[in-house]
Amino acid sequence: MSKILDNIREHAQSIELKGIKKSYGSNIVIPELDVTIDAGEFVVILGPSGCGKSTTMNMIAGLEDVDGGTISIGQQEVQDLEPKARGCAMVFQNYALYPHMTVADNIGYSLKIRGMKKTERMAKVAEVAKVVSLEDFLERLPSELSGGQRQRVAIGRAIVREPSVLLFDEPLSNLDAKLRHEMRIELSQLHERIGATSVFVTHDQVEAMTLADRIMILNKGNLEQFDTPKNVYDKPATVFVANFIGSPAMNLIENIERDTPLWQYCNLGLLDGVMGDDVIAGIRPEHIEVVEDGGMRAKVTYIEDLGAYKVINVVLASGQELMISTSLGFDGDHPDAIHIKFPEGKLHYFDRQSGLRL
Ligand SMILES: Nc1ncnc2c1ncn2[C@@H]1O[C@H](COP(=O)(O)OP(=O)(O)OP(=O)(O)O)[C@@H](O)[C@H]1O
Ligand SMILES: [Mg+2]
């Protein structure tokens, strides 16, 4: 086992944000954020462009000041400390490698700056290179590496400093789909080995679902949900989360008239004393069942064939449009209409005013 990894694992720290506020001029980016990340946890900050993900990460790293509130790393309040005194190491989207330095020099640069002797430095670099599987590439320049190898240099450069927190800002977004997939798997395996507290920013829900111990979902700087990938998918806390996680997005059904077939199929009678028009019912496209007969008749408007599965766009008698994912094949022409059911236990309900899960 590597000594550097032992040190990182042993010194992994929790991160606590308390009442964090941030504005740029009149633009309130983070109204007020309270969140605790456990030591050794891999947390993904997920949300649409401009929701404050990078700002939040930069405040942890010390690259942005907070307007209010406290940030603690372990037992220490750090919001007034210089970035280099916080024990965070950051991996950026473009990796920011030094193009004229070899892999070994890129990884060892921060140790050199710190004045570490060459023999000690080279030993550390060799150890880290092994962790990120770059032993055979130490003498190459970044331009002679693949995207994935460059990413590993960037991670190696971050962990050689034995940080108590690793921060990643969209490190995979420059890669093509296949390489992204490979790097996702690699990152997740690396995290298991490294064990550092890691915060990873992305707007890609697949990255969030596959990498995170817990996902922090931000919407306009507000925390919508902070939970495991499974809970975020199975029990979205708000309409925003329901709509943001899942592809295609969850069907949301509003303005359901009382005692209509749709009202019955959505089981709204179960929600005692709640009028249909105060509730948003949700069902994921992959959970709608296509049945031979019975159920609701749905007119097919369009079918997208994605090979492994189809997305059927339908409209109900009420005018409600729905998307259905299915692996069903259809013989010959696409049908004009199908019959569908909402299986028990697959419906979600949200309060229309607050957007909160009921
Ligand atoms: N230095 C700055 N000066 C003024 N406004 C800024 C600054 N940095 C960010 N903002 C604004 O703050 C908001 C949040 O930006 P942030 O970079 O945190 O978004 P993000 O969630 O990381 O988005 P993306 O997914 O596009 O990277 C945006 O409205 C952005 O325009
Ligand atoms: Mg960003």
| 354: exposed, middle or buried (Cβ count in 10 Å: 0-12, 13-18, 19+) | exposed
Contact 203 CB / ligand 1 (< 6 Å)? yes
Instruction: Indicate the DSSP class of residue 193.
Output: H
Starting from the CA of residue 169, give the closest ligand: 2
Say if residue 271 is in the same domain as residue 175. no
**Is residue 58 within 6 Å of ligand 1 at its C-beta?**
no
Q: Does the residue 58 lie in any domain?
A: yes
Residue type, 174: N
6-15, 32-41, 187-196, range with greatest mean pLDDT: 32-41
Higher pLDDT, 80 or 334: 80
Tens of pLDDT, residue by residue over 42-58, are: 999 999 999 999 999 99
Which protein residue's CA is at the shortest distance from atom 3 of ligand 1?
24
Domain end, chosen from 213, 229, 244, is at 244
Q: Quick check: CB of 53 below 6 Å from ligand 1?
A: yes
Q: Tell me, what CATH number does 119's domain have?
A: 3.40.50.300
**176-224 confidence digits (pLDDT tens):** 788 788 888 888 888 888 889 999 999 899 999 999 999 999 999 999 9
Last residue of one domain, picked from the residues 244, 262, 292:
244
Same domain as 124, residue 148: yes
Give yes or no: residues 203 and 305 share one domain: no
Indicate whether residue 26 lines ligand 1 (CB < 6 A).
no
Of 42-56, 60-74, 227-241, 268-282, the least confident: 268-282
* φ/ψ (deg, to 5) at 103: -55, -45
User: What residues make up the domain containing 300?
Assistant: 251-351
pLDDT of residue 164 exceeding 90, the answer is no
For residue 356, pLDDT over 90 is answered with: yes
Instruction: Please count the structural domains in the chain.
Output: 2
| Contact predicate 122/48, CB 8 Å | no
Residue nearest to atom 18 of ligand 1 (CA): 52
Tell me: pLDDT of 86 over 80: yes
Provide the mean pLDDT of the chain.
Answer: 91
Residue closest via CA to ligand 1's atom 27 equals: 49
From residue 138, alpha-carbon distances to 127, 131, 133, 150, 171 in Å are 12, 13, 10, 12, 21
Q: Which residue has the higher pLDDT, 117 or 260?
A: 117
Nearest to 191 by CA among 225, 170, 172, 168: 168
Q: Residue 342: pLDDT band by 50, 70, 90 thresholds?
A: very high
Q: Are residues 196 and 332 in the same domain?
A: no
Q: Which residue spans within 74-207 are E strands per DSSP? A: 76-77, 88-91, 165-169, 197-202
CATH number of the domain encompassing residue 296: 2.40.50.140
